[in-house]
A and B are shown apart, each in its own frame.
Chain A
Amino acid sequence: MEETKKLTRKDKKELKERMKHLKSGKLEKRDARVGYIFMIPWFIGAAAFLAYPLINSFWYALNEIKITPMGRDFAFSGIKNFTNILLQDPDFLVELVDYLTSTILSVPIIVVFALIIAMMLNMKIKGKGFFRVIFFLPVIIVSGPILGQLTAEGAGSISAIDMNSITSAISSVLPSMLAEPISDLFNNMITTLWYSGVQILIFLSGLQKIDKSMYEAAKIDGGSGWECFWKITLPNLKSMILLNVVYTVVFISNNDQNPIIGLIEDSMFSGAPGRGYGYAAAMAWLYTVVVILLVGLFALLLMTRKDAYEKQVKRAKRAIKKEARTRKKIERRNVRNAKRIEHQRAQGKITSRTTSREDY
């Protein structure tokens, strides 16, 4: 029987070097070529419509730009646009704080609402398809200018709610920085809920992928619906929740109703000295960084949450490792003791007689 040899680090390095010089076969080469050909349209699209505008807008952000009928005037200004926005612009930081507060408040509401509706639509009810269409309809119809007009007409709020009482109640309890966005949220409750069409679809697809036998097993073991939701449904939808949170943040951030988008557009076409395309580009970049940080924050919050099963597995593994370490420690101690006894015996410090219980 051939003896298997464990590779040393040096062996692995040598093998890697040898692999590098190995020529791939014709079929492999052809496959790779076809793969690249299929990727080329994406690369061209990404270079033309993503990388180029991104680089261009960053270059704009470093310049003061005037769009004149004779052409574009660029005057390099370094980070001046950024410092002006952060230190002198009276609106940007205020709007940014409002945006952050309202997004942090509305994202959980939208996601939870979408989850509830998705679970209801996943039940065995008559006209399921019709209800799904109803909830997805706002995504198709209520976009851009239509949403703006509906909001202006007051269709974004629930008319039965007495907003004045809610606002005064919230203001009496919370500081104005928090009270304002919360009462705004109540005021635009319908609009907020209209934003959940896509999220409902994502949750629905997630719910339909959950293995039904898990629910059956849980039911046999006496699990209630409530327990099934927390122990089966929610852990299985974890990745969908993250996806929906990211989608919602991005949607809210790019929405026409977002005042910062309006602010960027106004700056772009403002005649005020120092404003214009360059200033607007710098504002857009700063805003992008904030949105990325916000997405990162949500991702961090949701990704670090491990479910109970994973936690137990990890704990068990740790316990096994600990036990193995203790066993090794004991073995080593036994070896040491045996050696010591052997040494003492050789020196004649102890007789060959085996110690007996009576010696103690």
Chain B
Amino acid sequence: MKKRILALGLALLMLVGILAGCNKDGGSGKYVGADECGEYELVTIDGFDHQFKKYTNMTTENITLRYFNFDSDVVTQELAKIFMKIYPNIKVETTFEAVDTYNTTLGTLINNGETPDVVMTSDADYALSNRIFLDIAKYWGTDDETPLLASTINSAKIGCYGLEGHRYAVPMKFFPTAVAVDRNVLKKLSIAIPDQNWKWADMINIIKAGKQPKSLDGMEYYGLFAYTRLDSLYGIAAGGDIIGEFGFDGKDFDLSAWAVGEQEYGDLRVSGYVAPDRDTLANEEWLGDPANWSGLSGHVAIFTEPFWTYQNIWLAETEDGVTQMEANNLDIVPYVIPSASNTDEGLHNTIATMDFGGVSSATKYPREAYELLKFMTFGIDGWYARISLYNDESIVTASGTPLRTDNMPAPLTTDQGVWNAYIDMFCKGMDDEHKEHWTDFFASCMQPIPYGWVSIAGYHTACDEYFNKIGIHGIVDAGTGQAADYVDEATRKFNYYHAEAMINYFGPSGYNVLSEAEIAEYTEMKNANA
């Protein structure tokens, strides 16, 4: 009898457990989210002078939001804690996944029905073909902070994939591309220091003048070390109505402008103006070790290094308490990518590294997920929180370094308060002249254009299946072919892949948001370029 009672008790316990599991989100009934951003109240959080917005039309239920990313893990976790203080009923679970395995893990989660609520993405094609993102146009359109973003985000419809009235992705991280000039090298070689309004031709002249085969220290000087190829820079700086890589104007590609930059870069390489790549025999002959990096050599005039190189390496402290720049006698300052047009004055579009993400199409709480996405990425409040984290040197990465050195992005908002705080944090320890230089640089890079694979449908596939397969960069760099010879074919191919992707992603078998006229237009484009 006792055994029977025990068995019944256990069965009852299991049943209760199963039923409790069915209600793990703690929701009571169907949740209907708000259709707009709406009103907010200001809340104060301990340790912050800044007051944070708390939107009033957010759910009051206890919910959990999952945030899947390849951002800096510590920063993301700390930001999530602050968000949870603003909205105590929302629990945020952040998951970091390395870029290499990002799509695989995300695909597995989606396949298992465990799609996170907010998702970062490594390429647009994967996200769009699997309809990962929700259309968040209604929140974006009613958000008073989105008009404050860098102008091209809205004017070039970045994240809208050319569609009017829809928005699927937002820029999550922004790394402006700077042309880094080592003023000490220019001084040593008696080359005039350029001003911030320099032009493309000025940069090329400096690169050419920077090549000095013989020097007093017996080591060769080079004009350029290119992490980012010059054709990527030129392709956008060429101006006109280009709002994407390879001459993309929002509808079509035209690679003629790209070909000019590609050829120019190829010619510079062939003529020996470009420093050897790492892990090559030429680099070993030049720097004594193939693995040595020319960025610390003090023998290169211009670099096209990523934005994070400054904080991660050049401005990072050595064991002696000085920066790498001071230790290696460098004076590297950022310049905006020069415009290719001599008549172009003021701001112009520049290529920038931007990571994108969005709200998952499977989320139960789109309004709340949008707010989380905004806080963690482009929102003003989120940036105040971020800057305070970067300023707090007691918070360090897993490797024990300050958060600033962990690929720190720049704000995408134009809010002056955020920028003042950011520049103060970024330029800590710099003299006034350098700080002013950086301030000018930041002001001049606010018309960013992202790389094609995150912002143009079909671009990643076209590169994968055509451009990189042929190896055009290698051919032009080796001087065995001319960039101009590929312009017509590449333009046709990229237009074909783009049209096919647009139909596939946004047509009836995808999001189904294209009108019949648009489908006909893309079909015609696809057939014309087949």
Interface of A toward B, CB cutoff 8 Å:
66-72, 75, 90, 265, 268-273, 275-276
User: Are A270 and B461 within 8 A (Cβ)?
Assistant: yes
CA distance A66 to B504 in the complex (A): 11
CB distance from B157 to the nearest CB of A (A): 20
Apart from A66-B130, A70-B362, A271-B124, what are 11 other A-B pairs with CB-CB below 8 Å? A69-B132, A69-B360, A69-B362, A70-B361, A71-B113, A268-B107, A270-B125, A270-B464, A273-B501, A276-B129, A276-B130
B115 within 8 A of A: yes
B465 within 8 A of A: yes
Residues of chain B contacted by A66 (CB below 8 angstroms):
129-131
> Which A-chain residue is minimally distant from B500 (CB atoms)?
A273
Task: Render B120-141 as a binary contact track against A, CB cut-off 8 A, 1 for contact.
Answer: 0001111111111000000000
Task: Render B127-167 as a binary contact track against A, CB cut-off 8 A, 1 for contact.
Answer: 11111100000000000000000000000000000000000
Please tell me which one of the listed residues A69, A71, A271 contacts residue B460 in the complex, with CB atoms under 8 A apart: A271
CA distance A64 to B308 in the complex (A): 41
Q: Give chain B interface residues in 330-376, CB to chain A under 8 Å.
A: 360-362
Residues of chain A contacted by B115 (CB below 8 angstroms):
69
Contacts known (A272-B461, A273-B504); A69 close to B110, Cβ less than 8 A? yes
Residues of chain B contacted by A269 (CB below 8 angstroms):
103-104, 107, 126
User: Are B465 and A68 within 8 A (Cβ)?
Assistant: no
Residues of chain A contacted by B103 (CB below 8 angstroms):
269
CB distance from B364 to the nearest CB of A (A): 11
Residues of chain B contacted by A268 (CB below 8 angstroms):
107
CA distance A321 to B249 in the complex (A): 87
User: Are B125 and A69 within 8 A (Cβ)?
Assistant: no
Determine the main DSSP class of B at the interface with A: helix
B480 within 8 A of A: no
> Which B-chain residue is minimally distant from A69 (CB atoms)?
B362
Please tell me which one of the listed residues A67, A70, A75 contacts residue B509 in the complex, with CB atoms under 8 A apart: A75
CB distance from B393 to the nearest CB of A (A): 32
* CB-defined A-B contacts under 8 Å, sample of 8: A69-B361, A75-B509, A265-B104, A269-B103, A270-B125, A271-B130, A272-B460, A272-B465
User: Are B361 and A68 within 8 A (Cβ)?
Assistant: yes
CB distance from A276 to the nearest CB of B (A): 7
Residues of chain A contacted by B113 (CB below 8 angstroms):
71
Max chain A C-beta neighbours (<10 A), residue from B103, B460, B469: B103
B111 within 8 A of A: yes
Residues of chain B contacted by A273 (CB below 8 angstroms):
129, 461, 500-501, 504
User: Are B111 and A72 within 8 A (Cβ)?
Assistant: yes
User: Are A68 and B132 within 8 A (Cβ)?
Assistant: yes
User: Are B107 and A271 within 8 A (Cβ)?
Assistant: no
CA distance A276 to B360 in the complex (A): 19
CA distance A71 to B114 in the complex (A): 10
User: Are A272 and B360 within 8 A (Cβ)?
Assistant: no
> Which A-chain residue is minimally distant from B466 (CB atoms)?
A90
Contacts known (A268-B107, A271-B125, A271-B460); A90 close to B131, Cβ less than 8 A? no
Residues of chain B contacted by A69 (CB below 8 angstroms):
110, 115, 130-132, 360-362
Task: Render B431-465 as a binary contact track against A, CB cut-off 8 A, 1 for contact.
Answer: 00000000000000000000000000000110011
CB distance from A88 to the nearest CB of B (A): 10
CA distance A90 to B124 in the complex (A): 22
Please tell me which one of the listed residues A67, A71, A75, A272 contacts residue B107 in the complex, with CB atoms under 8 A apart: A67
CB distance from A127 to the nearest CB of B (A): 38
CA distance A68 to B110 in the complex (A): 7
CB distance from B342 to the nearest CB of A (A): 40
Residues of chain A contacted by B130 (CB below 8 angstroms):
66-69, 271, 276
CA distance A250 to B167 in the complex (A): 48
Residues of chain A contacted by B509 (CB below 8 angstroms):
75
User: Are A67 and B111 within 8 A (Cβ)?
Assistant: yes
CA distance A71 to B131 in the complex (A): 10
CA distance A275 to B107 in the complex (A): 14
Residues of chain A contacted by B129 (CB below 8 angstroms):
66, 271-273, 275-276
9 tightest CB-CB pairs across the interface, nearest first?
A271-B125, A69-B362, A271-B126, A69-B115, A272-B461, A271-B129, A273-B504, A269-B103, A68-B131
Residues of chain A contacted by B124 (CB below 8 angstroms):
271
Q: Give chain B interface residues in 499-520, CB to chain A under 8 Å.
A: 500-501, 504, 509
User: Are A271 and B128 within 8 A (Cβ)?
Assistant: yes
CB distance from B129 to the nearest CB of A (A): 4
CA distance A270 to B126 in the complex (A): 6
Residues of chain A contacted by B501 (CB below 8 angstroms):
273
Contacts known (A68-B132, A69-B361, A269-B103); A90 close to B465, Cβ less than 8 A? yes
User: Are B104 and A271 within 8 A (Cβ)?
Assistant: no
CB distance from A277 to the nearest CB of B (A): 8
Task: Render B86-122 as a binary contact track against A, CB cut-off 8 A, 1 for contact.
Answer: 0000000000000000011001001101010000000
CA distance A271 to B465 in the complex (A): 12
CB distance from A179 to the nearest CB of B (A): 20
